[in-house]
Structure 1
Amino acid sequence: MPELGCPMREIEPANAGAHWAAQAHERPPQVWEEWASDLAVALLPAGRRWDAVAMSSLRMQAVAEVLGQDLAQVPVLTDLTVDRAYVFVPAGTAETWSEPDTTPIGADYWLVASKPGGRQVPAGTWLQAPDLITRLADPAVLRAALKRTTENL
């Protein structure tokens, strides 16, 4: 198992996204154990290092077209079993989020996720995995994109 808690500069670039995702958990080694299991998914807690905004996959496609480069390096997770996409935003965003046709995912919620850079499972597939240069979506920019896409859906 990779060493946890080491600075990002010491992490292999291929595993940087997995380390980023695991660090959201109170016990990062548990995440690595879950990824190594037969299910190949882990539960990641929202509200600690990030929140997420859930929307339909179709809506996510429209938002991605509007945002273009503003969405670069922003993790986007999908659950293909229920046609949902999750855009990662700063922790605390869920507390004030109220955009129609979206669901805020914050404290006390968990997301099912495959290991970034590893085998992807339909219930937790990374559309855009975290990596060495991961950033969170700007909530104001995401809101504006959602409002623009509402007109087109």
Structure 2
Amino acid sequence: MPELGCAMREIEPANAGAHWIAQAHEQPAQVWEEWASNLAVALLPAGRTWDAVAMSSSRMQAVAEVLGQGMARVPLLTDLTVDRTYVLVPAGTAETWTEPDTTPIGAGFWLVASKPGGRQVPAGTWVQEPGLMTQLADPDALRAALNRTTENS
């Protein structure tokens, strides 16, 4: 998976992840305005620069244990109010995703997210924030880890 583009490397490191995630929106400035509001969350569209795979937080923990370092630079967003964790994967993944006990989030769907590096809100908390070395999860590795955790339970 490619890392952040060269242009993104010119942005101050503390905000690189926020800039990267804001670029998923057709109007990145709107994302920044939403983060600056009293709610401190923005709606981010899936399907443009990434899709997401949703699962319970406990399932995500098991998957992360299987993948180990393979998850080190993958952004993970969680909604603590409903115990769902979202793994960011390449755009288009949701169209063919069929793994049981997970939900593909693609074009036409939106995620609520706090600003990476900013105040975190329960409905959109970053477990692993995007940053300078962000990578999207490899869908095949994620599938394999999900299948392995299913076999072990």
Q: TM-score range by the shorter chain?
A: over 0.9
Superposed counterparts of 1:76-91, under 5 Å: 76-91=76-91
Structure 1 residue 116, shift from structure 2 partner: 0.3
| Matched letter for residue 49 of structure 1 | T
| Matched letter for residue 52 of structure 1 | A
Structure 1 residue 87, shift from structure 2 partner: 0.3
Query: What is the match of residue 50 of structure 1?
Result: 50
Superposed counterparts of 1:61-80, under 5 Å: 61-80=61-80
Query: What is the match of residue 41 of structure 1?
Result: 41
Query: What is the match of residue 148 of structure 1?
Result: 148
TM-score by length of 2: 0.95
Count of residue pairs brought into register by the alignment: 148
Query: What is the match of residue 3 of structure 1?
Result: none
Query: What is the match of residue 31 of structure 1?
Result: 31
> Residues 43 and 111 of structure 2 are in contact (CA less than 8 Å); yes or no, is this contact kept in structure 1?
yes
Give the whole-Å Cα distance in 2 for the aligned partners of 1:150 and 1:48. 30
Q: Percent identity?
A: 83
TM-score by length of 1: 0.95
> Residues 52 and 89 of structure 2 are in contact (CA less than 8 Å); yes or no, is this contact kept in structure 1?
yes
Structure 1 residue 119, shift from structure 2 partner: 0.4
Q: CA RMSD in A?
A: 1.0
> Residues 53 and 94 of structure 2 are in contact (CA less than 8 Å); yes or no, is this contact kept in structure 1?
yes
Deviation per CA, 1:10-37: give whole Å up to 9, x if none.
2110000000000000000000000000
Give the whole-Å Cα distance in 1 for the aligned partners of 2:37 and 2:135. 28
Give the whole-Å Cα distance in 2 for the aligned partners of 1:145 and 1:110. 25
Query: What is the match of residue 3 of structure 2?
Result: none
Give the whole-Å Cα distance in 2 for the aligned partners of 1:63 and 1:41. 27
| Matched letter for residue 103 of structure 2 | T
Q: 1:103 and 2:103 equivalent?
A: yes
Structure 1: segments with no counterpart, 5+ residues: 1-5
Structure 1 residue 9, shift from structure 2 partner: 2.6
Where does structure 1 differ by over 2 angstroms across 4 or more consecutive aligned residues?
none
Give the whole-Å Cα distance in 2 for the aligned partners of 1:9 and 1:41. 24
> Residues 9 and 132 of structure 2 are in contact (CA less than 8 Å); yes or no, is this contact kept in structure 1?
no
